[in-house]
Structure formats: structure tokens, C-alpha cells
């Protein structure tokens, strides 16, 4: 993560409060919401260089790169911590927190809950033992304390600006865990007014009402050329003990909207590491199941886009996408689609989804996380490779085959 010199105190009241991104399903770096169509994450120089030199053919399969911003930690009069970005020029204005933001309300309520006495204001419940462990072990002063019960799924009950209770919705707790870990690190390692640089990227799920997201760690190798021997051995062990070795792909996180229960079913990277080949196949089936039926109309457009990506990757000589992820995204909201014959139900075959915004069954495939990506000509590279990435290609081929087997009912 890149940091800069301390911020000018005269600019302390200007900024954009970053919100926890509630649809982060994997990864360890905290992804934050900058605005409705933009997210940001701590800047890693290698990843920035990748986005700035991105091959044209890959742009449709990656988030749009929007530049960088500087960010600093801010503590309000009640001791609540938040990250504030120095805004882009066109958005520059006085600091303001939206009272209608669910993410901000949840995070502030969480801090109020954990700083209270006896846990009287229990925020919510969610099924995530790792988050509970992180809260118990956190050493950040008065940031978060484990004074509430964590079980079941997490549902936010947020009041809108008029005091009305908003729609009850669940969300994936992984993003809050990453946000907690990031704030804890910033509190303990840097002064409060330290400037940090963040990447600005397209929010690839902004168009979806109930974004169903599968985060897949791609390839048979996950360590970059720049890591220590200890970290290299750790990554190799994870690959050998998971489907990364035999399939070239493993699940790093998942959320799928269950329309019968009206909440997201969530899975994390620890779940993905334990899966066998058959377990991986069943997890893919679960990702495409909305609680009432298998979304079979999604299988063909997903495979079509994966084949298109496979063709692009095969033409990227010297690129190695170590430790990168692939997102498969669709909307959990089902509505009938209008055709020349009128409306037809979701179960009916769909003509062509592709990237058309008019199709309600649209799917999206995006590559993310390029902090360890290497390629010929990238700055300060000591190792170069010939030909396309064999591990990534192996993973894509197996993923396509398993989806085809599901489609054929095998």
C-alpha cells in the first residue's frame, strides 16, 4: 500500500467519506465505495501499472480504471473512525455524510454498538465465525469490541431520512471484516493525518439490485515472483490442498440471493479451500440456484463470456495473472422479459444476453486483483515468461466444462 506525507490540516473539512463496500465477497484488502458507480482500494504500484498499460482486448473483462485519490483517517467527536478521500475536482465540495447510506449507517451503528456497555444495542446477527474471531482479537483502541452476538445471517435494519424502517436486507459480512482489519492496521501503524493513495475503479455491480457474485481464484499458482520464500511456501500449500491444483480454480467468496428467504447466502474463502472437485461442482450449482430453482437461463451466457475471455487470455503472451480473481456476476432479481410475443417467464429460453443492458438475465465476467500480475515490459521485472498463462487457461477450461456438465444435467 502506497502512503504519502501528512495531510494539510487546512483541508481537513473537505472530503468524501468512503463507505464499506457491502458486496465485497473475497480478497483481503478493503474495498470501499466512493460513489454509486465507483469503488476504491489501497493502491499497489504493480496493480496501478497493469491498469495503465492494459491490453485493449482485456478492457471489457476488467473494471474501468478511473485514476487515484488520496485518503486519510478521520475521527469524529464521538470517536467514530472513517476514511475520507480528497475528492476529484469535479466532485469537490464540503464534507458531507449521507444519512440515507445503508453502508454508513451500518458501520456507525456497529461502532456505537461496540462502544456501548453490555452490548445492549445488538446490531444484527450473521453467520461468520471468522469475523467474530477478528473482533475478539482486534487491538484497535475503542474501534470495535466483541460485545454482541454473532450467529445466523446479518440483516440491516436501517432507518431512512424520515425515520422509516428501510427494507430488511442481508449482506455479506466479508467486506466489513476487511474494513475492520484495514482500519485496525491504519490506527496502529500510521498517524491519523497520514495520506494514503487508493485506486479508483468501476463498481461493476452498481447496475444490479441483488448482485449475485462468485469470486474465483484463478490458476494453479497463486504466489507472485516478488514474495518471500515463506509466503511462497504458504501459497503453494494452499493450492496443493485445494481445487487450485487439480482444476486451476477455487472459490474465494460467494453471495447468491435466495428469493424465498429474501437474503444472501454467503460463502467465504475458507469454505472454498475445503472443497473437493465434486464439492466445487455443487458450489457452482448452488451459486446458480435462487432457493426455488436453478437459473438455467444463465448457463449459456456465462459460458459464452468465459469462452470469449479464454480466447483473449490465449493471445496475451508473457502475462501471468498470479493471485488474481475472476468475478461471475448476475442479478438475483427475476422479472419477465419483453419479446415480440409479449412477456415470457424467466424459465423460458433467452435469445442472447451478451452485454446487452436490455436483458434482465445479463451476466458479467470481470478479472480483478492484479497486485502480483507480471508481463514482459512491466517495470522492475526480473522474471519474464513466454506464451500465455497456462494455469489460468487450465482453470478457465475446467470451469467452462463443469458449467457445461451442469447445463447437460450430469
> Could you read off the pLDDT of 136-171 as tens digits, one per residue?
333 322 222 222 222 333 333 323 334 333 333 467
- What is d(CA 394, CA 247) in angstroms, rounded to the nearest whole number? 7
**What domains can be seen in the chain, in order of their start residue?**
16-90+170-333+359-408 (3.30.470.160)
Give the residue-averaged pLDDT of 215-241. Answer: 86
Within a 13 Å sphere around the CA of 161, how many CA atoms are in the beta-carbon half? Answer: 5
- The pLDDT confidence band at residue 338, using thresholds 50, 70 and 90, is very low
* CA dihedral sign, ordered 9, 30, 24, 168: negative
Tell me which long-range contacts 375-379 makes (C-beta under 8 A, separation of at least 24): 375/50, 375/316, 375/318, 375/319, 375/320, 376/317, 376/318, 377/53, 377/318, 378/46, 378/49, 378/50, 378/53, 379/49
The CB density around residue 379, as the number of other CB atoms within 10 Å, is 8
Q: Picking from 38-42, 88-92, 203-207, which range would have the lowest pLDDT averaged per residue?
A: 88-92
User: pLDDT at position 123, please?
Assistant: 29
Say if residue 89's pLDDT is above 60: no
| Per-position DSSP letters for 235-279, written without gaps between them | HHHHHHTSHHHHHSEEEEEEEEEETTTTEEEEE-HHHHHT--HHH
DSSP-based three-state secondary structure for 79: coil
Say if residue 356's pLDDT is above 80: no
- What is d(CA 293, CA 326) in angstroms, rounded to the nearest whole number? 25
- The pLDDT confidence band at residue 335, using thresholds 50, 70 and 90, is low
Report whether 322 contacts 222 (CB < 8 A): yes
Say if residue 381's pLDDT is above 80: no
What proportion of the chain, given as a percentage, has pLDDT over 90?
50
Q: Name the most confidently modeled range: 224-233, 236-245, 249-258.
A: 249-258
What proportion of the chain, given as a percentage, has pLDDT over 70?
68
Please give the grid coordinates belonging to residue 224: 507472485
Say if residue 67's pLDDT is above 90: yes
The CB density around residue 252, as the number of other CB atoms within 10 Å, is 25
Q: Which residues fall within 8 angstroms of residue 309, CB to CB, at 6 or more apart?
A: 61, 326, 365, 367, 396
What single DSSP character describes residue 7? Answer: P
Between 159 and 11, where is the model more confident?
Answer: 11
- The pLDDT confidence band at residue 183, using thresholds 50, 70 and 90, is confident
Q: Name the most confidently modeled range: 188-202, 307-321, 334-348.
A: 307-321
Give the residue-averaged pLDDT of 173-197. Answer: 86
- What is d(CA 138, CA 134) in angstroms, rounded to the nearest whole number? 6
Q: Picking from 85-89, 106-110, 268-272, which range would have the lowest pLDDT averaged per residue?
A: 106-110
Tell me which long-range contacts 122-125 makes (C-beta under 8 A, separation of at least 24): 122/148, 122/149, 123/148, 124/154, 124/155, 124/156, 124/157, 125/149, 125/150, 125/151, 125/152, 125/153, 125/154, 125/155
- What is d(CA 100, CA 166) in angstroms, rounded to the nearest whole number? 10
Give the residue-averaged pLDDT of 46-60. Answer: 95
- What is d(CA 50, CA 217) in angstroms, rounded to the nearest whole number? 18
Residue 85: name the closest of 177, 144, 11, 27 by CA: 11
Tens of pLDDT, residues 255-278? 999 999 999 999 999 999 999 999
Residue 23: name the closest of 34, 15, 31 by CA: 31
User: pLDDT at position 270, please?
Assistant: 94
DSSP-based three-state secondary structure for 180: helix
Residue 332: name the closest of 93, 170, 183 by CA: 170
User: pLDDT at position 347, please?
Assistant: 45
Q: What CA dihedral angle connects 288, 155, 250 and 36, to 10 degrees? A: 90
Say if residue 98's pLDDT is above 60: no
Say if residue 372's pLDDT is above 80: yes
- What is d(CA 254, CA 126) in angstroms, rounded to the nearest whole number? 15
Q: What is the mean pLDDT of the chain?
A: 77
What single DSSP character describes residue 233? Answer: H
Say if residue 352's pLDDT is above 80: no
Give the residue-averaged pLDDT of 389-397. Answer: 97
- The pLDDT confidence band at residue 327, using thresholds 50, 70 and 90, is very high
- What is d(CA 174, CA 266) in angstroms, rounded to the nearest whole number? 9
Say if residue 406's pLDDT is above 90: yes
User: pLDDT at position 362, please?
Assistant: 85
User: pLDDT at position 291, please?
Assistant: 95
User: pLDDT at position 231, please?
Assistant: 85
User: pLDDT at position 179, please?
Assistant: 87
Please give the grid coordinates belonging to residue 311: 480466447
Secondary structure (H, E, C), 24-68 = CCCCCCCCEEEECCEEEEECCHHHHHHHHCCCHHHHHHCCCEEEE
What predicted TM-score, i.e. pTM, was given to this entire model?
A: 0.77
The CB density around residue 187, as the number of other CB atoms within 10 Å, is 18
User: pLDDT at position 10, please?
Assistant: 43
Say if residue 113's pLDDT is above 70: no
Residue 319: name the closest of 261, 247, 367, 266 by CA: 367
User: pLDDT at position 401, please?
Assistant: 97
User: pLDDT at position 95, please?
Assistant: 38
Q: Which residues fall within 8 angstroms of residue 137, CB to CB, at 6 or more apart?
A: none
User: pLDDT at position 216, please?
Assistant: 98
Amino acid at each position: 500500500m502506497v502512503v504519502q506525507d501528512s495531510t494539510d490540516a487546512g483541508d481537513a473539512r473537505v472530503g468524501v467519506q468512503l463507505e464499506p463496500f457491502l458486496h465485497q465477497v473475497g480478497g483481503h484488502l478493503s474495498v470501499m465505495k466512493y460513489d454509486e458507480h465507483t469503488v476504491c482500494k489501497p493502491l499497489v504500484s504493480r496493480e496501478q501499472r497493469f491498469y495503465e498499460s492494459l491490453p485493449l482486448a482485456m478492457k471489457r473483462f476488467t473494471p474501468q480504471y478511473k485514476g487515484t485519490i488520496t485518503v486519510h483517517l478521520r475521527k469524529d467527536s464521538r470517536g467514530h473512525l472513517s476514511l475520507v478521500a480528497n475528492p476529484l475536482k469535479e466532485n469537490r465540495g464540503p464534507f458531507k455524510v449521507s444519512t440515507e447510506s445503508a453502508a454508513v449507517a451500518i458501520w456507525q451503528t456497529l461502532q456505537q454498538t461496540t462502544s456501548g456497555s453490555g452490548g445492549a444495542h445488538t446490531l444484527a446477527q450473521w453467520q461468520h465465525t471468522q469475523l467474530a474471531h477478528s473482533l475478539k482479537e482486534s487491538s484497535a483502541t475503542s474501534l470495535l469490541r466483541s460485545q454482541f452476538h454473532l450467529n445466523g445471517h446479518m440483516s440491516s435494519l436501517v432507518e431512512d431520512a424520515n425515520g422509516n424502517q428501510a427494507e430488511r436486507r442481508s449482506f455479506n459480512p466479508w467486506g466489513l471484516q476487511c474494513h475492520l482489519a484495514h482500519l485496525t492496521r491504519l490506527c496502529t501503524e500510521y498517524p491519523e493525518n497520514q495520506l494514503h493513495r487508493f485506486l479508483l475503479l468501476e463498481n461493476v455491480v452498481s447496475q444490479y439490485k441483488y448482485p449475485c457474485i462468485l469470486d474465483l481464484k484463478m490458476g494453479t499458482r497463486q504466489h507472485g515472483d516478488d514474495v518471500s520464500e515463506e509466503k511462497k511456501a504458504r501459497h503453494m500449500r494452499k493450492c496443493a490442498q485445494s481445487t487450485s491444483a487439480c482444476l486451476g480454480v477455487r472459490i474465494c467468496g460467494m453471495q447468491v440471493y435466495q428469493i424465498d428467504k429474501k437474503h444472501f447466502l454467503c460463502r467465504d474463502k475458507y469454505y472454498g479451500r475445503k472443497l473437493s472437485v465434486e464439492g466445487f461442482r455443487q458450489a457452482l450449482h448452488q451459486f446458480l440456484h435462487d432457493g426455488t430453482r436453478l437459473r438455467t437461463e444463465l448457463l449459456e451466457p456465462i459460458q459464452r463470456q468465459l469462452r470469449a475471455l479464454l480466447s483473449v487470455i490465449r493471445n496475451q503472451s508473457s502475462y501471468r495473472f498470479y493471485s488474481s480473481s475472476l468475478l461471475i456476476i448476475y442479478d438475483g432479481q427475476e422479472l419477465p422479459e419483453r419479446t415480440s410475443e409479449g412477456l415470457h417467464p424467466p424459465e423460458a429460453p433467452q435469445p442472447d444476453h451478451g452485454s446487452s443492458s436490455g436483458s434482465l438475465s445479463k451476466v458479467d465476467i470481470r478479472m480483478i486483483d492484479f497486485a502480483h500480475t507480471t508481463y514482459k515490459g512491466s517495470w522492475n521485472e526480473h522474471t519474464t515468461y513466454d506464451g500465455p498463462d497456462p494455469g489460468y487457461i487450465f482453470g478457465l477450461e475446467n470451469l467452462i466444462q463443469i458449467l457445461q456438465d451442469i447445463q447437460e444435467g450430469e
